[in-house]
């Protein structure tokens, strides 16, 4: 279990992020077109996993916009946005914001991602949702970088996450 904060108030997650150097846990997530993706679908590419509570909050929306902008500068790299928002909410947001470089997904059919990545909030007002975190996976499927953002209202460290790929 990890302790983070929501506006300075303690919140616990279901576990810890995968260790740097370890194999990234597999997952099944659902895209906006209702098709499922798993880790193997990104084999041979770098993967930046941007995890957040809801695309309908300002900080979450900012992180999707920022990764959408910055991810294009790194060859063979995909950004995967993950939350519990329904695919329809992700599609609405991406259409309205012109998001074309982030594959937005949710835990529609499987709730294992939040547990396997240790990011499910288990208490506090957002219990059940995913915390704000970033996991970078290299082309070989190994974890290169992780950040569990200390307070949910803060943005992740974009520069460090992307620098892990250079």
Catalytic, out of 60, 79, 94, 106: 60
Residues in Cβ contact with 161 at an 8 Å cutoff, skipping those fewer than 6 apart: 48, 134, 136, 145, 147
Sheet holding 46-51, edge to edge: 36-38, 28-31, 102-106, 77-83, 46-51, 133-137, 143-148
DSSP 147-165: EE-SBTTSPP-HHHHHHTT
Measuring CA to CA, which residue among 153, 154, 117 is closest to residue 135?
117
Pair of tokens at residue 26: 């597999």
Residue 129 DSSP code: S
**Could you tell me how far CA 156 lies from the centroid of its own chain?**
10
CA angle 136, 119, 109 (to 5 degrees): 95
Active site residue 94: no
What positions carry a catalytic annotation? 60
């Amino acid at each position: 279990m990890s302790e983070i904060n929501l506006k300075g108030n303690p919140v616990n997650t279901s576990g810890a992020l995968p260790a740097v150097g370890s194999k990234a846990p597999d997952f099944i997530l659902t895209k906006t077109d209702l098709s499922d993706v798993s880790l193997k679908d990104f084999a041979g590419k770098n993967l930046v996993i941007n995890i957040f509570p809801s695309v309908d909050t300002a900080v979450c929306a900012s992180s999707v916009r920022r990764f959408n902008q910055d991810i294009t500068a790194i060859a063979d790299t995909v950004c995967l946005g993950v939350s519990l928002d329904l695919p329809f909410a992700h599609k609405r947001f991406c259409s309205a914001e012109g998001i074309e470089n982030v594959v937005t997904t949710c835990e529609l059919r499987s709730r294992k991602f939040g547990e396997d990545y240790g990011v499910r909030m288990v208490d506090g007002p957002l219990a059940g949702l995913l915390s704000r975190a970033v996991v970078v996976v290299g082309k070989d499927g190994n974890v290169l970088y992780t950040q569990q953002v200390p307070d949910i209202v803060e943005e992740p460290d974009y520069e460090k996450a992307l620098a892990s790929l250079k």
